[in-house]
C-alpha cells in the first residue's frame, strides 16, 4: 500500500544508518547501544556534551506522544544538537500534501536525522528507502518501537544484571502492541524465557516465530507465576477496529493486581511502557509500588535515545 504513495520515486544511495526496528539489529549492535545508554545515564545532567554539536534533528510525530517525543528532544539537546519537534496537525499534511512530499520537503532542509512516529506499520521503512537523511523509528503502527525495547532492556539489566534465562511475562493487548513485538525480538535474541499472555483474540500463534523461547498462554496466573519480569501493555483502544474483548471485563481477566505480583518471584519487577490506564490493565497499588519500574523506564528513555542518536550519526 505504501508503495502506491510514491510510484515515481527512485531509491537513493549510499543509505545512511537508520534505526527502524530491533528485528534488523544484531546482538552486538544492541549490546553496544545498551552500553552507551548506561554510559550516558552516568553522565551528570549538568555536563555540556558536544557529541552532536552542529547536527540538526527533526522530531516528526503523526501520533500523540509524551515520553518518546520529549525524551528524544532532551537527548538531542544534551548531546549538543539542534532539534525541532513537529506534530502532524501543524504540517502541510493538513492541506493535502502527501507523506512522501512532506518528508522530501523536510529532507531538503538537510537535517541529519528524522525521528518519526506514524500510525502506518512500515512507514519509516518505506520512506527510508528514498531519503538520504538518517531515520529513527519512534513507533510505526502495530509493528515496532525499537527505542522502547532498548530502554526496557536497560531497565531490566540495571536490576537483574542479565537477560539470559530470565523469565519474562508480556501481558495484554499483544496484537496491537509494537512494544510487544520489539521486546519479543530483543529478549529472544538474548536468551530470555518469554511467556506471552492476553485475550485469545490478541495472541496469535505466529508470535512464537519471532524468536526462540516464546510461549503463549491465555491464563494470567500461569503467565505471572515465577516471573522475574512482568511487562504489562496498554490496551490500545485507538487501534481496535472491532471489539476484540469486552472492555468492562478486561481488568478482571488481564489486569495486574498485587495478588498477581505475589505469584511472581519475590524480587520480580513490573514494567509498563506508558501511558498507563489505571484500573484497566494495571491497578494503582501495583503501578505505585516498589516493584514498579515505570518511572525508571522513562528516565532510561533519555539515556537510550542519546545512545541511539550518537550511533545513527557515527561515520
Query: Minimal distance in Å, beta carbon 185 to ligand CP?
Result: 16
Whether 74 and 302 have beta carbons less than 8 Å apart is answered as yes
Reply yes or no: is the peptide bond before residue 14 cis, omega within 30 of 0: yes
Whether 183 and 147 have beta carbons less than 8 Å apart is answered as no
Sheet holding 269-271, edge to edge: 214-217, 193-197, 167-171, 229-232, 269-271
Q: By C-alpha distance, which of 209, 299, 283 is closest to 250?
A: 283
Query: Minimal distance in Å, beta carbon 308 to ligand CP?
Result: 14
Q: How far apart are CA 15 and CA 1, in angstroms?
A: 23
Query: Minimal distance in Å, beta carbon 269 to ligand CP?
Result: 17
Give whichever of 65 and 300 is closer to ligand CP, judged by the CB atom. Answer: 65
Give whichever of 63 and 158 is closer to ligand CP, judged by the CB atom. Answer: 63
Phi, psi of 173 (to 5 degrees): -85, 70
Give whichever of 148 and 183 is closer to ligand CP, judged by the CB atom. Answer: 148
Q: By C-alpha distance, which of 142, 167, 171, 145 is closest to 234?
A: 171
Query: Minimal distance in Å, beta carbon 65 to ligand CP?
Result: 3
The per-residue DSSP string of 130-199 comes to T-SSEEEEEEETTTB-HHHHHHHHHHHHHHHS--TT-EEEEES-GGG-HHHHHHHHHHHHTT-EEEEE--
Q: Which residues are at the interface with ligand CP (CB under 6 A)?
A: 65-69, 139, 148, 273-275
Query: Minimal distance in Å, beta carbon 234 to ligand CP?
Result: 8
Give whichever of 124 and 139 is closer to ligand CP, judged by the CB atom. Answer: 139
Query: Minimal distance in Å, beta carbon 273 to ligand CP?
Result: 4
Give whichever of 77 and 265 is closer to ligand CP, judged by the CB atom. Answer: 77
Query: Minimal distance in Å, beta carbon 69 to ligand CP?
Result: 6
294-313 helix and 67-78 helix, angle to the nearest 10 degrees: 50
Q: Which three cell numbers stand for residue 207?
A: 508470535
Give whichever of 107 and 270 is closer to ligand CP, judged by the CB atom. Answer: 270
Amino acid at each position: 500500500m505504501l508503495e502506491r504513495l510514491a510510484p515515481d520515486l527512485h531509491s537513493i544511495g549510499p543509505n545512511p544508518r537508520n534505526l527502524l526496528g530491533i528485528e534488523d539489529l544484531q546482538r552486538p549492535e544492541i549490546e553496544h547501544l545498551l552500553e552507551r545508554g548506561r554510559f550516558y545515564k552516568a553522565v551528570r545532567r549538568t555536563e555540556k556534551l558536544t557529541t552532536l554539536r552542529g547536527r540538526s534533528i527533526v522530531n516528526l510525530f503523526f501520533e500523540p506522544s509524551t515520553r518518546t517525543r520529549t525524551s528524544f528532544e532532551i537527548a538531542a539537546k544534551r548531546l549538543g544538537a539542534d532539534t525541532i519537534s513537529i506534530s502532524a496537525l501543524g504540517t502541510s499534511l493538513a492541506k493535502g500534501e502527501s507523506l512522501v512530499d512532506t518528508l522530501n520537503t523536510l529532507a531538503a532542509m538537510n537535517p541529519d536525522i528524522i525521528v518519526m512516529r506514524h500510525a502506518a506499520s512500515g512507514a519509516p521503512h518505506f520512506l527510508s528507502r528514498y531519503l538520504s537523511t538518517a531515520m529513527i523509528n519512534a513507533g510505526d503502527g502495530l509493528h515496532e518501537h525499537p527505542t522502547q525495547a532498548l530502554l526496557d532492556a536497560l531497565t531490566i539489566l540495571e536490576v537483574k544484571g542479565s537477560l539470559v534465562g530470565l523469565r519474562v511475562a508480556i501481558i495484554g493487548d499483544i496484537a496491537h502492541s509494537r512494544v510487544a513485538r520489539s521486546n519479543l525480538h530483543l529478549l529472544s535474541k538474548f536468551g530470555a524465557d518469554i511467556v506471552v499472555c492476553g485475550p485469545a483474540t490478541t495472541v496469535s500463534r505466529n508470535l512464537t516465530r519471532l524468536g526462540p523461547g516464546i510461549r503463549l498462554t491465555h491464563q494470567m496466573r500461569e503467565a505471572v507465576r515465577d516471573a522475574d519480569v512482568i511487562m504489562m501493555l496498554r490496551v490500545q483502544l485507538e487501534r481496535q477496529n472491532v471489539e476484540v474483548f469486552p472492555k468492562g471485563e478486561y481488568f478482571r481477566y488481564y489486569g495486574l493486581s498485587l495478588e498477581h505480583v505475589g505469584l511472581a518471584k519475590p524480587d520480580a519487577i513490573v514494567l509498563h511502557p506508558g501511558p498507563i490506564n489505571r484500573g484497566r490493565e494495571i491497578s494503582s497499588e501495583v503501578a505505585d509500588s516498589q516493584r514498579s519500574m515505570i518511572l525508571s523506564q522513562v528516565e532510561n528513555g533519555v539515556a537510550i535515545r542519546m545512545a541511539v542518536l550518537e550511533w545513527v550519526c557515527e561515520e
